[in-house]
Amino acid sequence: MSRLSAMFARLRGEQRAALISYITAGDPQPTATVELMRLIVAAGADAVELGVPFSDPMADGPVIQRASERALAHGVSIGDVLKMVAEFREYRSDVPVILMGYLNPIEVMGYGNFAEHAADAGVDGIITVDMPPEEAGDLDAALTTRGIDSIYLLAPTTVPERVRMICDRASGFVYYVSLRGVTGAGHINVAEVEDHVRGIKTRCTLPVGVGFGIDNPQAAAEMARFADAVIVGSAVVRRIEQADGDMRQIHQSLSAFIASLRTAIDEHPQAVAATP
Amino acid sequence: MDYKYPDERGHFGPYGGIFVAETLMGPLTELREAYEVFFKDPEFLAELDADLQHYVGRPSPLYFAERLTRHYGGAKIYLKREDLNHTGAHKINNTVGQILLAQRLGKRRVIAETGAGQHGVATATVAARMGLECVIYMGAEDIQRQAINVYRMKLLGAEVVTVESGSRTLKDALNEALRDWVTNVENTFYIIGTVAGPHPYPVLVRDLQAVIGRETREQILTAERRLPDALVACVGGGSNAMGLFYPFIGDPEVKMYGVEAAGEGIETCHHAASLCAGEVGVLHGQRSYLLEDEHGQVSETHSISAGLDYPGVGPEHAWLKDSGRADYVAVTDDEALEGFYSLTRNEGILPALESSHAIAYAGKLASKLGHTKIIVINLSGRGDKDVHTIAAREGIEV
């Protein structure tokens, strides 16, 4: 069983939603990343989503754009990101690691070559923001061969028949984008998200994660009532940015924030056992 | 003509396609369906034709540049005068068409990215005419070098948003426009200014710009009773070149030359010649040639002309290059300036710095081809917007 399947199976038994925390690899500096991955797991995250820095992050808001720029200023490449995952694996062999990024660095590396190195490093799943399933045949095949999950986004604008098509192609889980906008934007309408997620669950047997714009424990707890995973990104990265390179402050601030998310999520056990 | 590109999912051979975040898949489907319906609708096409004639001022003349021909001493040079269009460039051929689609789709707000500002002005112009809200994204660097166009857009009632991220030029303006679109998909129509981006934009913009080539074909047959030997057009994203080339693709005797910006030289890293010096990559919704580093990060580019200062290029150009149907070359900033002065002094026409690249290459080509041949240059825009750049280069304060 893959690490992601094992995680969702375990949490389903406990009637809890997963907490997935995002950080951008190489932010604020390359040497901090493995340490921060371990920290967010120790503070209560069930899985780590690691952003692969890209020069043109079209789907990201200003917070993650700036994190990407900080990482690129250190010359962090996709190869470096895989090395960070491999190093993290020396400490934690059980925690799922998902990469999130844009297609071009993978395209340049070559799909087969990337899949091989990602699998060797211990990557569990890939979210490629600008790669819709229609174009992804070759990439998905390369990932499947190496046992890596293709995690697809579903948006508020995704029509029901397309939800079904994407779920058929996805593995690991599907990621519902909780707002119309870029990462870190505001104004989530919880009732609307709940409607959409429940609709997706009638068409999809995979776990459904929810992310984009979830920036406080209360919002995380509300999502956890109906989602299988709550994904928090910009709110974490903002705390890294605010510490301005002071690692001690990053530790304190991230530990406290992740722990508060964890507590809030666990106080809201899932009303219905989410996915069979 | 058996040239049938793109396929139904927007592929030109291995290029093109749709590479966007899931939120945009719905709006792109809506746009593709609108394109398929309305570009076959006689009423829509009649309205478009009327706007092109009475508002844009088409057909634009095909002008025999006699003194420029003598100056370069070779093939006869004709200029397709897109600089005489309303707003001073070919860009408006596209925006008059897209705004009609926006209207048909009931969108009340339009957004656009702009480099030199010509597409921004052309968008703000048609938005003003239709009474639609208009937001233009423009890189901070470009805002500085194209101050006149920024003010024109504001006069037309558009909001101009300064983009400070990345290299602060056209590619970053495009990123920001995409972010706006993702956020406001319900009420917003994104008017892309070139033959790039996710399907259907490359084919939509090509079909709207193809009026340039259709007219040229008729006009040269009237003037010379034969087709030209060569077409020359500058290529940034590639819309003016595609518009001129497309109606001639099935005529193999007509050679096609796309001229990219070699900036300070193609051997330096200060250029914008993606077809001449790039690799295949994915950016802004499409697969095409791209200037990028070995890790897939998009390179910063340089050109004296803001409109060519872009690391990507439309996917159909990538396909025409690989298939050998068109040739792509590059000229430097200095050569483009030579082209600018040659046209200005010999014909009394101030070309845009973008179009000056085409003039410079046509000059070289003319002497190579000799007197019996005919070249058509797409004079894609006028140079009023560039006088500050040229003055600054000469050390003159205007």
Render pLDDT for B46-97 as a digit per residue (tens, 0 to 9): 999 999 999 999 999 999 999 999 999 999 999 999 999 999 999 999 999 9
Q: What are phi and psi of B80, to 5 degrees?
A: -85, 115
Distance, CA of A24 to CA of A8 (rounded, Å): 24
Residue in B closest to A70 by C-alpha: B166
Give the helix/strand (H/E) hosting A98.
Answer: strand A97-101
Distance, CA of A111 to CA of A116 (rounded, Å): 9
Q: Does B296 contact A132 at a Cβ distance shorter than 8 Å?
A: no
pLDDT of the residue at B1: 62
Chain A neighbours among B 237-266 (CB < 8 Å)? none
pLDDT of the residue at A188: 87
Average pLDDT value for residue range B151-163 = 97
| Tens digits of residue pLDDT in B119-152 | 999 999 999 999 999 999 999 989 988 888 999 9
Interface confidence, given as ipTM, is 0.95
pLDDT of the residue at B54: 98
B162 versus B1: the higher-pLDDT residue is B162
Q: Which of B374, B376, B342 is nearest to B356 (CA)?
A: B342
pLDDT of the residue at B146: 87
Residue in A closest to B286 by C-alpha: A130
| Chunked mean pLDDT (size 10), chain A, 276 residues | 94 95 98 98 98 96 96 98 98 97 98 98 98 97 98 96 97 95 87 96 96 94 96 97 95 98 88 49
B116 versus A80: the higher-pLDDT residue is A80
Residue A37, token pair as written in the block: 């991955």
Q: What is the DSSP string of B251-312?
A: -TTSEEEEEEEEET-TTSS----HHHH-EEEEETEEEEEE-B-TTSPBPP---SSGGG--SB
| Tens digits of residue pLDDT in B291-339 | 999 999 999 999 999 899 999 999 999 999 999 999 999 999 999 999 9
A49 labelled catalytic: yes
pLDDT of the residue at A272: 52
Residue in A closest to B287 by C-alpha: A104
* Residues of B with Cβ-Cβ distance to A55 under 8 angstroms: 166, 297-298
- State the catalytic residue, choosing from B80, B355, B380, B385: B380
* Residues of B with Cβ-Cβ distance to A108 under 8 angstroms: 279, 281, 292, 294-296
A244 labelled catalytic: no
Identify the weakest region by mean pLDDT among A234-243, B44-53, B200-209, B388-397: B388-397
pLDDT of the residue at B193: 97
Distance, CA of A254 to CA of A200 (rounded, Å): 32
For the domain spanning A3-267, the CATH number is: 3.20.20.70
Quick check: B285 pLDDT over 60?
Answer: yes
Beta bridge pairs of residue A235: none
Distance, CA of B355 to CA of B224 (rounded, Å): 24
pLDDT of the residue at B310: 94
